[in-house]
Every structure is written in structure tokens, then in C-alpha cells.
Amino acid sequence: MQLSWPGGPLRGTAQLPASKSEANRALILQALAGGGTLSNLSDANDTQLMMRLLAAAPGTVELSAEDAGTVMRFLTAYLAVTNWRGRLTGTARMQERPIKVLVDALRQAGASINYLNNDGYPPLEIAGFTVAAETTEPIELSVRGDISSQYISALLMVGPRLPGGLRLTLTGHIGSRPYINMTVALMQRFGADYSAEGDVLTVRPGAYQPTDYTIESDWSAASYWYSFVALAPAGSEITLPGLRRESLQGDQAIAGMMKQFGVETTFLSDGVHLRQIPLAPQTEIQTLDFTDCPDLAQTVAVVAAALARPVDMTGLESLRIKETDRIAALQTELAKFGGDLRDLGEGRFRAESSGFAVNNQSVATYHDHRMAMAFAPLAMRGLLAIESPTVVRKSYPQFWKELAKSGFAVSEAE
């Protein structure tokens, strides 16, 4: 896909997809509750895939989560506690993404799950769930807090279905806590009885209640429009409907992060308004921690390099096991423009540049939707090509159409 900006300020309104993080949790809870209406469900592939697999599960013995991490992890727990029997698989990349921590915990709780190829990785054979019906004490599980929050969310959501409920102890440093908070908040909307004492999370047994819920627009998707405004000509602004000031999404952190890159956020009754403001002089290199919002890392790394405003980044550990090794991918693609994500050691990276220039480079996307969308805003600075542009279907299928509607020249490269 070739992109270019004709010049002049960026203005208008851009439509965002609904949050797939919220949607996929709500879909699992809706299935466990046996009803309720969910509004503003996204056309993102991850959400549509979850809907299809939940509908197909009762009469199907093999399901594929494709490349969707939340689908694989949430379904593993859901299918186990609902006594589904069959094979759960995914793409070749999904079969390289670990799931052992979740499987070990579910086995402890009473699930029968076997690995069909490599120990600790999909595909999985799920063969029912056994726990004494007279059990009144919660199942006690302990998992590391620095693993994917999707494991923790998967366990919490099925907690009410266990005869004695669940007491989950998180050990060590806890990453992506906003995603855990999102899960718990949605569980409570559907009637779960939850409490926490420090890092001990307790879910009491009981049925979820059918509930109507409207999914918020996606702050992760909004982050790319922050980059467009930051890199656009002076006077640029854009409105993003459907975002909330009181959001369950940790990626709302982008509003604060982008202030240092010249983007001001104003909350509206239904959404936000972004406006470019003059960059303040950079007197020192700031450190941004992405532990709670790893999906923002690519966005920030690219805009920091493009604006030659270096920033130190921590909390990037989970980026190695996403759709691709996102750290390696960023390093390779930024280098094409004169940028870098330099490893400073001890978990710290510096996004920086020297002579950054956009002149018709081609960006590889590594089967990763966020690589495509994080680099697309560079088209504000020159002609740009994005390889395998259809990867955006995973979370923002209308992304290229929204760019065209906003004034970009968007065409398939020959």
C-alpha cells in the first residue's frame, strides 16, 4: 500500500473500531451468562473470530484461534470449564506462543488438557473438566504477575463456574494491570462476586447474569491518530468519537504520553478532540513505562524517532512474544529511516534517530497489524509503502479507508 499526504493541516473526524480487548472479554462473559446484548461490537477479525468460535463450539471438535492471542487464551479456559472436548489450534505463529502457565493452572483446577505437538504450546486437546461437586472451598492457584495478563483474565472469568470459586495469588511484579482491572470490572457488570486483598484475587462461585453492555471505541487504535496529528503540518486536529474519559482501557495512557510529542487531548461528551500544539524544548530524555500498555510501544517508538525527540522505554518484555518479535521488527524497520530502538540493557530501550527521513521506503509488517499502523503516520513526512496491508484486519479493518477519507492518497503499490 502506497501512502502520501497532499499537504496542509489534517482535519476532520476519524471513526475508530470498538475495543477488541473489551469485546472479547464481554463475549466470553455473555456466553457464560447465557444472554445479554452487546452493542458496538467491532468488525475487527479478532472479535468476529471470537463470535464465530463461541457459536460453533457446541457442535465442533476442532477450532482455530488463528493468530489471536486473546481468543486462544480465553477460549482455552472457557472451553475447559464448559466441558468441551476437542482440539484447539492456531496459526504457525500461534503455535510458537507459550500457553503453559495457563494450562498448568487449569489442570490444577480440574481441566484435562494435553499438548498435541510441543509441550507448553498449542495446539491443545481439551478433554473435559472434573472437580468434586461438593467442593465449597475456592480452588487455590498461584501465577506469576509478569506473564501475559490474558492468562490471568482467562482464569478470573471462569472463576464463578468453579464449585468453590477461585482464589488467585499473583506473585512478583504485575504487568498489564489495567487489563486485569478491565476484566474484573466487566465481570462485576455481569454479576460476579469479586474481591481483592493485595495481590490475592478472590472470585466466589455463582452464575453470571445476562447483561446489556456497549463496547467503548479502541484507545489502541486511537494511538495512531495521535501520531498522525503529531507528525502533520501545523494547525492539524482531529476528532475521535466513542472514547470515554472514564475508560477501562489502559491504552488511554496515550493521551498523557503524547503531550511531549505536541498533541493536546480534549475530552468531549462522546469522544476526544486532538490538536497539535508547539513542541516544548526537550531538556532531558524522559522515560516511559509500557508495562501496563505494551500495545502503545510501537506507536511511541516511531513518533519519537520521527520527531528526533529521544525517549527511553521500559516494560517492553512482552513484545518479544506478540504477533512477531516487535522489538526486533522495530529495530529493523526504523533503521530504514535513520531511526533506532537501542538496547541500553537492563530492560531499557531508547527510541532515537539521526537524520530521519521518509523517501519512499517500504515497511515490512511481519504479520503484525500494529507494525503497519504504527509506521503509517510517517506518510505525513513523505511517500511511504506498507507491505501486506491487509494485516490491519486483525484490529482495525477500516484503517486504510479512514486514511483515504481523511485526505491521504492511498493506493495499492505496483
Residues in the annotated binding site for 3-phosphoshikimate: 20-21, 25, 148-150, 176, 295, 322
137-149: burial string, b at 16+ Cβ within 10 Å, e else: ebbebebebbbbb
Return binding residues for phosphoenolpyruvate.
20, 69, 97, 150, 326, 370, 394
Residue 42's contacts (CB-CB under 8 Å, 6 or more residues apart) are 17, 18, 19, 20, 23, 48, 215, 218, 395
| DSSP conformation class of 249 | -
Instruction: Report whether 114 contacts 125 (CB < 8 A).
Output: yes
325 is catalytic: no
C-alpha cell at 326: 516487535
Radius of gyration of the chain (CA): 22
Q: What Cα–Cα distance (Å) separates residue 225 from each residue in 205, 219, 345, 361?
A: 42, 10, 31, 21
CA 17 to chain centre: 13
DSSP string, 259-280: GGGTEEEEEETTEEEEEE-PPP
Q: Where are the alpha helices (DSSP H) in 11-161?
A: 20-33, 45-56, 69-81, 100-109, 149-158
The span from the CA of 57 to the CA of 241, in Å, is: 34
Backbone region of residue 212 per phi and psi (left: phi > 0; alpha: psi in -120 to 50; beta: other values)? beta
Detail the DSSP E strand segments found in 90-171: 111-115, 124-129, 139-144, 166-171
CA distance 19 to 21: 5
Please identify which of the residues 251, 295, 340, 368 carries the catalytic annotation. Answer: 295
Cα-based angle 236, 242, 246 (whole degrees, multiple of 5): 105
Residue 104, amino acid: D
Which residues are annotated as catalytic? 295
